[in-house]
C-alpha cells in the first residue's frame, strides 16, 4: 500500500488521499441522490395507481364533434352526457396512452380538458383513464 498520507487540517492525525477519497465523495453523492429519486418514483407510482397515464394528444374535438378513430377504448363525452348536459365551450381531446407495460400497445380515450386549454396535436398530457370528471392536464 503506497498511499500518500497528509495531515488533516481539522485533526492532528494523517488522512488518506487518492482513490479512497473519490469513492467517499461518490458514496456521499449517491446517498443524497437516492432518497430524492425514490420519492419522485413513489409519487409517480401513486399517480399511476390512481389512474393517471401519460398520453399523447391525437386530435382536438368539441363536445359534439366526432372522434377520428373507430377504436376508442373510452369516450368521456358519453359519460358526461348521461349525467348532465354538456356545457358551452366544453372541450375534449382524443388521447393515446400505453398500457400493459408495452410502449407499442396503445389505447385511445376521449377525455375532457379545460376550455382555456392551449393543447395541440402531439402534446403530452396526463389523462385519468377511469374518471371522466378529471380533466387532462
Q: Give the single-character DSSP code of 9.
A: T
- Which cell numbers hold the place of 26? 461518490
Residue 108 has pLDDT above 70, yes or no: yes
Distances (CA, A) of 52 to 23, 35, 74, 82, 137: 40, 23, 14, 23, 10
Tell me the mean pLDDT in the region 112-116.
90
Give pLDDT tens digits for 36-57.
544 565 667 778 889 999 999 9
Same-domain pairing of 110 and 72: yes
* Residue 34, φ and ψ in degrees, nearest 5: -60, -45
Residue-level pLDDT at 103: 85
Same-domain pairing of 121 and 96: yes
Same-domain pairing of 119 and 58: yes
How many domains is the chain built from? 2
Query: Residue 12: which domain range?
Result: 8-48
Q: What is the pTM of this model?
A: 0.61
Same-domain pairing of 102 and 122: yes
Residue-level pLDDT at 10: 53
Please report whether residue 133 resides in a domain. no
Amino acid at each position: 500500500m503506497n498511499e500518500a498520507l497528509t495531515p488533516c487540517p481539522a485533526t492532528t492525525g494523517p488522512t488518506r488521499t487518492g482513490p479512497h477519497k473519490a469513492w467517499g465523495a461518490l458514496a456521499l453523492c449517491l446517498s443524497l441522490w437516492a432518497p430524492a429519486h425514490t420519492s419522485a418514483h413513489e409519487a409517480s407510482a401513486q399517480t399511476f395507481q390512481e389512474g393517471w397515464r401519460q398520453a399523447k394528444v391525437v386530435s382536438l374535438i368539441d363536445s359534439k364533434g366526432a372522434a377520428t378513430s373507430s377504436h376508442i377504448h373510452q369516450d368521456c363525452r358519453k359519460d358526461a352526457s348521461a349525467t348532465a348536459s354538456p356545457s358551452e365551450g366544453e372541450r375534449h381531446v382524443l388521447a393515446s396512452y400505453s398500457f400493459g407495460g408495452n410502449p407499442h400497445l396503445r389505447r385511445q380515450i376521449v377525455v375532457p380538458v379545460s376550455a382555456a386549454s392551449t393543447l395541440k396535436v402531439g402534446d403530452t398530457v396526463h389523462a385519468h383513464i377511469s374518471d371522466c370528471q378529471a380533466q387532462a392536464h
